[in-house]
Chains A and B, each alone.
Chain A
Amino acid sequence: MKHDYLDKYSSLDSVLHNLDPRTKIVCFFSAVIVIVSEPREETTAFLFYYLILIALLLASHIPVPFFLKRCLIASPFILMAALMLPVSFLLGGKSASGNLNIGVFVFSLSILLKAYAAIILLVLLTSTDRFHRLLKGMRRMHLPNILTMMSALMYRYIFIINDERLKTNRARDSRSPGRFQSGRIKVYGNQTAKIFLRSWKRAQTVYQSMLSRGFKGDFPEFFRLQFKLSDGVFAVIMIVCFGVVRVFI
């Protein structure tokens, strides 16, 4: 079966795609930290942060609807966090006047803006490079081996689980109208259990095949990553842009 998840747009050709994954990891995570560290009453700076993000987005050549979809997936969690703030103020009577004031809503807005900016940066990071190259970058940056190895295995097993999901979906749909029906919760429950059991069995075989080829708990590196001049230029631009907004605005 054929899948594209995180890697869907990783084969495009753009400035961002051609960067070393380590440059992107460092720059994007630093950008997230800079944005998140903005004071909670600050909103003007986000206008400039979002301008930078839009520029990055355009430079990546990745379709905007893709970003919107990814943001939509995270939206329930972000909205929950943003909405909980005024609610907690109201219940706890923390505002100066004992009622909700405009400041609380500014804080909520700040949470929303920070969260979406972080999501956009992370989607940019994961969509402009192959997942295995990002892992390689992390490994080269001496991140804990267990973390990168678990991520690599998890990524492999996502395909297995989805394979099994598609197979069981087809089997179910071929013998039913296919539409979700609330009265058939038991069927969906059984299907989920089956997917996990079958995935577990297949994951065992994948692991056996790795062992049979001498796997000792570490993925050997076949490619060497290389910094280029463009990596340095990109890093400087990012530092200048985010630094200027953070310090002067």
Chain B
Amino acid sequence: MPDSFAVEVKNLSFAYGKDPALKNVSLKIRSGERFGIIGPSGAGKSTLLLHLNGILSGDGEVKIDGLPVTKKSLPEIRRKVGLVFQNPDDQLFNPTVEEDVAFGPLNLGLSRKEAGTRVRETLKQMNLEGFEAKASHHLSYGEQKRVALATVLAMQPEVVAFDEPFSNLDPAMVKHLIEIIESLDATVILVSQQILPVMASCHRLAILKDGQVIRVGTPAELAADRGLLKECGLDVGFFCSICKKLDL
């Protein structure tokens, strides 16, 4: 049986003004796969992510579950692809947690009652029961991260794409987030500079550098290519040596 692809990107190029951000990027991500996109700052990772949801549109082709991302298909694409932004504060713009979580489902055309059910289910899934009436700007960073994820999961997307999910999190929260990510019943895309948590939670990874896909492989394959990781500024040998030194 042939693989079914949740995400297909073909020859995608995009530029901010005259500065190219993506150059002929091609990728295929299988349904149900956890796929990591790693690379140094300015590699074009977040730009690529924004194309999956149709927020940016460059030259080339992007398909979600076989459906091309076009202006016409945007409502369906935004139902299928959920984006979790790097800074949760940017994602939470409603006065209370429950209104923020209900925002997506209501925009999908669900009734208040259905949206309310989704809100309750999602908050329960994220261990956020009792947070309904809280103002999101009064939550801790870790709680905000979970609420931001809840706002996306409430839309029941088929693809959940995270932009730098592990930034500014303490190790315990990173572990907790990896557990949440692994429990998701969806295709997951992780975009990050922190390659250890991405390697720990993804089936496959792509290295992006200067707007181009340098290599795609399993975490073990990429970890074995220390030269490439070093060249892309992603080598974790330094951290490993610290761990060794501290007997961790």
- Chain A residues near B (Cβ < 8 Å): 1-3, 130-132, 156, 159, 163, 202, 205-206, 208-216, 219-224
Residues of A within 8 A of B151 (CB): 213
Is B137 a contact of A212 with CB atoms below 8 Å? no
State in angstroms the CA–CA spacing of A222 and B119 once bound together. 11
Contacts A132-B94, A209-B85, A213-B78 known; list 7 others, CB within 8 Å: A130-B95, A208-B85, A212-B82, A213-B151, A214-B79, A214-B155, A222-B102
Residue in B50, B112, B137 whose beta carbon sits within 8 Å of that of A224 in the complex? B112
Residues of A within 8 A of B137 (CB): 1-3, 159
A83 CB → nearest B CB, Å: 40
Is A156 a contact of B75 with CB atoms below 8 Å? no
The digit string for B87-105, where 1 denotes a CB below 8 A from any CB of A, is 1011101110011001110
Which B residues from 95 to 133 make CB contacts under 8 A with A?
Answer: 95, 98-99, 102-104, 106-108, 112, 115-116
State in angstroms the CA–CA spacing of A213 and B82 once bound together. 7
Is B93 a contact of A210 with CB atoms below 8 Å? yes
Residue in A2, A131, A223, A224 whose beta carbon sits within 8 Å of that of B138 in the complex? A2
Residues of A within 8 A of B138 (CB): 2
State in angstroms the CA–CA spacing of A206 and B112 once bound together. 24
| With A130-B95, A202-B90, A214-B78 as contacts: A208 and B106 at CB distance below 8 Å | no
| With A156-B93, A213-B155, A214-B79 as contacts: A222 and B112 at CB distance below 8 Å | yes
Residues of A within 8 A of B177 (CB): none
- Chain B residues near A (Cβ < 8 Å): 50, 53, 55, 75, 78-79, 81-83, 85, 87, 89-91, 93-95, 98-99, 102-104, 106-108, 112, 115-116, 137-138, 151-152, 155
Residues of B within 8 A of A216 (CB): 107
A219 CB → nearest B CB, Å: 8
Is B50 a contact of A214 with CB atoms below 8 Å? no
Is B102 a contact of A209 with CB atoms below 8 Å? no
| With A2-B137, A130-B95, A205-B85 as contacts: A212 and B102 at CB distance below 8 Å | no
Residues of A within 8 A of B55 (CB): 208, 211-212
Is A209 a contact of B93 with CB atoms below 8 Å? yes
Can you give 5 A-B contacts (C-beta < 8 A)?
A208-B83, A211-B55, A214-B78, A214-B104, A215-B103
Residues of B within 8 A of A212 (CB): 53, 55, 78, 81-83
State in angstroms the CA–CA spacing of A222 and B81 once bound together. 23
Is A222 a contact of B98 with CB atoms below 8 Å? yes
Question: Which residue of chain A lies nearest to B151 when distances are taken between CB atoms in the complex?
Answer: A213
Residues of A within 8 A of B102 (CB): 220, 222
Question: Which residue of chain B lies nearest to A159 when distances are taken between CB atoms in the complex?
Answer: B137
Q: A-B pairs with the 3 shortest C-beta distances?
A: A214-B107, A220-B106, A213-B104
State in angstroms the CA–CA spacing of A220 and B50 once bound together. 24
Residues of B within 8 A of A206 (CB): 90-91, 93
State in angstroms the CA–CA spacing of A3 and B91 once bound together. 17
Residues of B within 8 A of A131 (CB): 95
Residues of A within 8 A of B115 (CB): 222
Is A214 a contact of B75 with CB atoms below 8 Å? yes
Is B155 a contact of A205 with CB atoms below 8 Å? no
Is B90 a contact of A205 with CB atoms below 8 Å? yes
Question: Which residue of chain A lies nearest to B92 when distances are taken between CB atoms in the complex?
Answer: A209
Is B87 a contact of A205 with CB atoms below 8 Å? yes
State in angstroms the CA–CA spacing of A222 and B99 once bound together. 6
B106 CB → nearest A CB, Å: 3
| With A132-B95, A214-B78 as contacts: A209 and B104 at CB distance below 8 Å | no
Residues of B within 8 A of A163 (CB): 89
State in angstroms the CA–CA spacing of A206 and B136 once bound together. 14
Question: Which residue of chain A lies nearest to B138 when distances are taken between CB atoms in the complex?
Answer: A2
Residue in A130, A132, A214 whose beta carbon sits within 8 Å of that of B108 in the complex? A214
Residues of B within 8 A of A213 (CB): 78, 82, 103-104, 107, 151-152, 155
Residues of A within 8 A of B112 (CB): 221-222, 224
